Amino acid sequence: MQSNKKIVLTKIQFKDKDALAIGFKFAEETKALVKQINGIQWSTTNNTYFVLKEKHSINMLFNHFKPHGYFVDYSAFTKPSSRVYKEPRKLRLQASMKQMHASLPLSFRELLRDYTGFLKSKRLSQSTIKSYGYFVLRFLDFYKPKVIKDLKKRDLDKFFEVVLAGENFSISSHRQCVSALKYFISYCQLPELEADDLKRPKKSKKLPVVLSPNKIIILIQVTKNLKHRAIIGLLYSCGLRIGELLNLKLNALDFDRKQLNVRQSKGRKDRNVVMSEALKPLLLNYLNTYKPKHFVFEGRAGGPYAATSIRQFLKRSCQLAGITKKVTPHVLRHSYATHLMENGVGLRHIQLLLGHAKPETTMIYTHVAQRDLMQISSPLDTTVEAITKSHKQPQEVLLSRKLRD
């Protein structure tokens, strides 16, 4: 590789914004190519050309220089960062996805359409199809100059390096991407690739965030809007996923039997959960006030309420309640499960109430339940107690030093 054919990307700050500095050995040809980059700017302070860092900046620069025989060194961005790329379905990616799709060759667009149909034939959920379609769209956009049949294992590795690692996707997104490409390889029957060769990274084993029962009550109390109070109360008291709450229809509420009927939730499963007696007056007040027609919680246009709206008002309510933990709607579900376990409800019953397919998923709450843990004595307390009892004349054992005058 020629020394003047190397581009080095590094991190800089421009007016408190993240930016990518574009380093290269001076050559008129290289300088002219750099100046063709969309959004390129010059920093006098850093004495370098740069672009503001966006989600696809590294991929864009890689594709800009690669056809001209340049090697792009982006190693500065492959190290773990505190910024984690959120799940694609939680972002407003429609505009960028449309641009990527429009830039694909016709054959690639047809392939993506057929791949989506293939996923539908597998009876995957709409959200899964959307996520898998996103990753395959990114993959096709990354390799659009190539012929799909010629792809090799190294091409997949490069995609994971530049896109997944370069843009710092989360581990869960990485696992989703591997699943998407496994289906893609299986569908295309690529001669140089085997779906089994793709390995998913191990899941991150993080303990769920949980609020105390008292904090839950305060959270509901400080929420001023009636609809918002009802949403928080129902999410917690029934342990619902946010998607389950948004899709609840009026006939799911069975006040006579004190049950909530959750239909076709994750894994296309139905389940019944116990409705809170304490929440019943609040729910009835909400229904009589807002008079929803189809869904329990409706937006202004009459369709399901927006998930982003729930996250926004939940954040405000947490601030009013003095809660410093990062609280999402799913934290209320985690809290529901943990509090059930601390109240002595069996693991199997909690599994059914949450709609978990495997008991292993539910068992994570055994690590955060505090009821039994709080009854364990510290070994220091045990030692002090034993020393105190060993003396004929009971005396207090002090741990603070006796300082001389």
Active site residue ranges: 241, 266, 330, 333, 356, 365
Which run of H or of E encompasses 9? strand 6-14
Strands (E) across 64-144 are located at 71-73
Residue 7 pairs in a beta bridge with: 24, 72
Token pair, residue 235, equals 């999410």
- Sequence-distant (≥ 6) Cβ neighbours of residue 306 within 8 angstroms: 299
- Sequence-distant (≥ 6) Cβ neighbours of residue 87 within 8 angstroms: 131, 170, 172, 173, 176
Token pair, residue 298, equals 């409706």
Strands (E) across 173-274 are located at 253-254, 259-262, 271-274
Phi, psi of 19 (to 5 degrees): -140, 160
In angstroms, the CA 142 to CA 145 distance is 8
Residue 73 pairs in a beta bridge with: 8
- Sequence-distant (≥ 6) Cβ neighbours of residue 188 within 8 angstroms: 111, 115, 148, 149
CA pseudo-torsion sign 196, 125, 310, 239: negative
User: What's the distance, CA 313 to chain centroid?
Assistant: 19
Closest CA to 306 of 235, 230, 243: 243
Q: Tokens 């340049």 appear where?
A: 70
Q: Are residues 359 and 351 in contact, defined by beta-carbon separation less than 8 angstroms?
A: yes
Starting from the edge strand earliest in sequence, which strands make up the sheet with 71-73, in order?
41-43, 48-52, 17-24, 6-14, 71-73
In angstroms, the CA 316 to CA 326 distance is 12
Which run of H or of E encompasses 318? helix 307-321
Starting from the edge strand earliest in sequence, which strands make up the sheet with 271-274, in order?
253-254, 259-262, 271-274
Distance, first Cα to last Cα, the chain:
76
